[in-house]
Amino acid sequence: QARSLLSRYRGCLAGAVIGDCVGAVFEGAWADSIAIVKIIKEDEKIREAAEKRKRENENPDGEVSNGEIWTFTDDTAMARSVAKSLIKHNGFNARDMARRFSEEYFNERFRGYGGSVTVVFQKLQETEYENPFEPAKKQFEGQGSYGNGGAMRIAPAGLFGYKDNDFHRLRDLAKDITNITHSHYQAIQGAVLQAYAVDLALRVEGHLDADEFLNDLIKQMKLMEKETERFTKMTNEKVARDRGEERSSASEHPYCDKLEKIKTFLKQEAPPSPEEIDEELGTDVSALESVPAAIFAFLYATKDIPYLENRNLFEKTVMYAISLGGDTDTIATMAAAIAGACYGEEQLPEHWKLCCEGVDDALEDAEQLYNLSQSSNTQP
């Protein structure tokens, strides 16, 4: 039962890579009732590729073939930059992290980056990372991007901050890391929420209590949303006016509302349909409409899910997260990071580890973050 902390660190980062690689096959798909069947088919393909690879590796005369590989996307490209920068500096270094994000992008532009974030990389490079927070502030006419690009890469911050056991420090770290590309408060709050979910998952002992998990998240998000309440209200009213509506019906605490909705979904007799989940939680590239879906997938996976009866909780989390459709690589990577932190590396299927690109690298980063968490020289 007891999962070692090291296994949880490794499960978190390698799990995140797996969610990205497998989820990427389905990015932009619509959720439908047979989505899960398609994912099971894909899983079979990965299993076959892994078998083939093992056979070839066992045959000493055979050609060394790397076989079929499930490639990672920008989610992993950026997450590993976060991990490596935190490790190198034993803390946050804005210039170094900004440089790593940009160089990674210019080396491998094909990773499927968001539509606008590449402008930030361009400007960061042009200004030689002199003011690493400036380019992001200019995105979307000065309001900053509300994309999920901050949340998708934040898991290593959860691992790094774990030893402090201090929400405010974790919040500030996630804020800093996100601000390099995303300055919209919803992008930041989403990243903080995801980082905190990873932190909480590392601390789950024995049975996972969904209500307790959600109440912890709600407690902190309530305070964060209180700080932005007036601004949210103003923004909501402006959006309504632009639409010619007299007043806004939008919420001033949208993250807490969605976390409450997750509670309802988990309690209701009949499982929520993919349409309901898309409608109430969202499954798109914005932080607000993807982080709650990832948390929901992690919690819902503890239930009986048709077709997934014989899968462990990590597998169920990933496959169910993908079945929600929409931004599948990102929702799966976030859900998998939380699940990996909760259940440990032991639950990561061997064939996924073998065929997903970047798993070994993530395992090494996780090991180094673990070592840092064990050393006593915490930063002031």
Interface residues toward Mg ion, by CB under 5 A: 73-75, 112, 282, 327, 329-330
Helix (H, G, I), strand (E, B) or coil at 349: coil
What's the chain's Rg over C-alpha atoms?
20
- Build a one-symbol-per-residue string for 217-246: x at contacts with ligand R7I by CB under 6 A, - elsewhere: ------------------------------
User: In this complex, which beta carbon is closest to ligand R7I, that of residue 73 or of residue 194?
Assistant: 73
Stretch touching ligand R7I by CB under 6 A, among 29-37, 69-77, 157-165, 252-260: 69-77
Among 104, 329, 345, 365, binds ligand R7I (CB under 6 A): 329
143 binds, among ligand R7I, Mg ion, none (CB under 5 to 8 A by kind): ligand R7I
Residue 70 backbone phi and psi in degrees, to 5: -95, 115
- Residue 145, interface with ligand R7I (CB under 6 A)? yes
Any residues with CB less than 8 A from the CB of 87 and at least 6 apart, and which? Answer: 365, 368, 369, 372
Binding mask 283-302 for ligand R7I (x = CB under 6 A): --x-----------------
* Min separation Cβ 186 and ligand R7I, Å: 9
How does DSSP assign 267-286, residue by residue? HSSSPPPHHHHHHHT--SSB
Size of the site for ligand R7I (CB under 6 A): 22
Can you spell out the DSSP letters for 143-169? T---BTTTGGG-HHHHHHHGGG--HHH
Q: Locate the DSSP E strands across 176-332.
A: none
Q: Which does 117 bind (CB under 5 to 8 A by kind): Mg ion, ligand R7I, none?
A: ligand R7I
One-letter amino acid of 235: T
Given Mg ion, ligand R7I, none, residue 149, with its beta carbon under 5 to 8 Å by kind, binds: ligand R7I
Q: What are the residues facing 147 on neighbouring strands?
A: 286
Asked if residue 157 lies in contact with residue 173, where contact means CB atoms within 8 angstroms, the answer is yes
Q: Please state the closest distance from residue 149 (CB atom) to ligand R7I, in A.
A: 2
CB 85 within 8 A of CB 104: no
Site pattern 149..168 for ligand R7I (x: CB under 6 A): x--x----------------
| Tokens representing residue 171 in the block | 């919040």
Q: Which residues neighbour 364 within 8 Å (Cβ) at sequence distance 6 or greater?
A: none
Which 177-206 residues touch ligand R7I, going by CB under 6 A? 184
Binding site for ligand R7I (CB under 6 A): 73-75, 112-117, 140, 143, 145-149, 152, 184, 285, 327, 329-330
